[in-house]
A and B are shown apart, each in its own frame.
Chain A
Amino acid sequence: MTPLIVIEGLSKEYLRGGQVIPVLVDLSLEVAEGEYIALMGPSGSGKSTLLNLIAGIDKPSSGTIRIGGIDITALSDAELTLWRSINVGFVFQFYNLMPVLSAFGNVELPLQLTSLSRAERRERVDAALALVGLTDRAAHLPNELSGGQQQRVAIARALITDPELIVADEPTGDLDRVTAQEILGLLGRLNAELGKTIVMVTHDPKAAETAHRLVHLEKGELAA
């Protein structure tokens, strides 16, 4: 299978109190198209930093990240913003929905950046909400939904622009076991049925089991 993500010699360091703290050290990794990987490792191992770099919301200190043939580390801030809106779907631990917008409005949000008409947007949002089983909750505000429902809205939002890549940061970290299973099942379906490449950061071994491959990080390096 052709790799979607090719990471070479990636390093990221932070300056804290005049001291250089390495977070990722000369890391190389490939993720195939349609693959579902779980990034695991203790706190401070750099897994979230790696996810942020892959998602294009942070910049590395050195090294390259090629996604679908594009070296995203070479893109300007504006180019990277545009690239994200087309290529990446985000799922966060705390859902990160806009509290003043309905489920429908939240899912529609990324489409505001496209040139789709109102009718076309409505059609796509309806389809996405149906896919996550929330058609009857479209008009509800986030605080009127359970945690699991909110995360399903967030997944619908991640899907709405049909990106190749979905990044998920502890998507079940704030959910009970049963609901977590539901969400993991949904992510699995996106991968299996829609062919989405998924990179997920998780602490939860049960969650990691649903992925095709586990990638362990330890002190900023890949562990065997």
Chain B
Amino acid sequence: MKVPFTYIARNLVARRLTTALTAGGMALVVYVFATVLMLAAGLRATLVATGQPDNVVVIRRGSQTEVQSGISRDQARVIDSLPDIAVAGDGTRLISKESVVLINLPKRSTGAPGNVTVRGVTAAGLELRPQVKLVAGRMFRPGTSEIVVGRAIAKGFRGAELDDTLRFGSREWTVVGEFDAGRTGFDSEIWGDATQMLQAFRRNGYSSVVFRLADPDRFDAVKTALESDPRLTVEAKRERQFYADQSQALANFIRVLGTGISIIFSIGAVIGAAITMYASVASRTAEIGTLRALGFPRGAILVAFLAEALLLGFAGGVAGLVAASFMQAVTISTTNFQTFAEIAFSFALTPSIVAASLAFALAMGLIGGFLPAARAARMKIVDALRAA
């Protein structure tokens, strides 16, 4: 760069207020842009973390979610006979036949009903999810109408705290424990005994079968065996992939909507940057003429003003990201419209979001600065000097 950087940077500092206001406008856009991406990333991170790498979820072929799926007891027995299922230290096979039902509970904040996932699990179901840990009370006893609730349920819904009684499936259920599933989708679930759930909801079959692979590398072979068995109409997915797929639609929706809104906002910020840069060029006409007379080429002037606009954009980008980073402390709950169930998740700031946000801010600076910089570079020296 021929025009010294100190000249470029100090000109921004010299016009502090204008610089701050323009960068502030860009910061707001970057804030919206980054938080939306953080929302999508947070949702995805929560659902991906829900799955264990060596767990396999089996659901009815063609159903995207457990709620839509149905696996008969006969089919479940066939799956249970697979030789590839891991065995725990005490000799139990790590397989859980689960029932998943959606119920309505009033939200603590508004009283409006929200969909909550109720999962019936077997003893192995707990062992399959080591991230699920009791934090209060105790685990439900098999064969009883006892339930345990995830932290997000206890916090977000009325009557779902320890020792409360919930009514669903024409029965009263007592909350005997609260578990922490480490910011995964299970945090937004209610768990009880699978057999009791099937009876209460008058179901004949399960929703899904989850098991751990004895040898994680055998997944493809197990998948082929299950999906080609003529007695079964099922599909098998790695649990991690299964939950990641469930975040796809909502994450994409948030991303597309958010990016669209950010781009519309950014037009305003770009116009702001352009006005600021035009003013900067106009107030420094004589300086531009002087630089050109001293022998600075047109290209150097163009680069100097573009660099000034980029610096402005960078300042806005950093400010926006700093503001957005505070959002990481916020947890929100919304309906995942693939599973129709409420899911609580946090905003997640990832390195790729930082990079994308800064690139977005720099692009705003560059676009806003281009015409003013071109104008500065095109000035006739004699006319510019006359402005002194």
B is bound to A: yes
- Whether A90 pairs with B4 at a CB distance below 8 angstroms is no
Contact status of A58 and B293, CB under 8 A, knowing A101-B10, A113-B2? no
For residue B388, CB closer than 8 A to chain A, the reply is: yes
B: residues with CB less than 8 A from A are 2-4, 6-7, 10-11, 13-14, 286-287, 289-298, 381-382, 385, 388
B-side binding surface: helix, strand, loop or mixed?
Answer: helix
For window 49-65 of chain A, which residues contact chain B by CB distance below 8 Å? Answer: 52, 55, 57-58
Contact status of A94 and B388, CB under 8 A, knowing A57-B382, A100-B10, A100-B11? yes
What are the 10 A-B residue pairs with the smallest beta carbon separation, nearest first? A85-B295, A100-B10, A96-B290, A57-B381, A84-B295, A94-B388, A58-B382, A81-B297, A110-B294, A57-B293
A55 / chain B contacts, CB cutoff of 8 Å: 293
Per-position contact with B for A74-113: 1 when CB-CB < 8 Å, else 0? 0001100110111000101110101111000100111011
Q: CA A78 – CA B287 in complex, angstroms?
A: 19
Q: CA A105 – CA B294 in complex, angstroms?
A: 14
B2 / chain A contacts, CB cutoff of 8 Å: 112-113
Chain A: minimal CB distance from B19 (Å): 13
> CB-nearest residue of chain B relative to A58?
B382
Q: CA A28 – CA B56 in complex, angstroms?
A: 94
Q: CA A30 – CA B298 in complex, angstroms?
A: 31
A: residues with CB less than 8 A from B are 52, 55, 57-58, 77-78, 81-82, 84-86, 90, 92-94, 96, 98-101, 105, 108-110, 112-113, 157
Chain B: minimal CB distance from A144 (Å): 14
- Whether A113 pairs with B295 at a CB distance below 8 angstroms is yes
Q: CA A121 – CA B3 in complex, angstroms?
A: 15
* A-B CB contact pairs (8 Å), 11 listed: A52-B382, A81-B297, A82-B297, A85-B296, A90-B293, A96-B286, A100-B6, A100-B7, A105-B6, A109-B4, A157-B294
> CB-nearest residue of chain A relative to B9?
A100
Contact status of A84 and B293, CB under 8 A, knowing A52-B382, A58-B381? yes
> CB-nearest residue of chain A relative to B11?
A100
A82 / chain B contacts, CB cutoff of 8 Å: 295, 297
Chain A: minimal CB distance from B45 (Å): 45
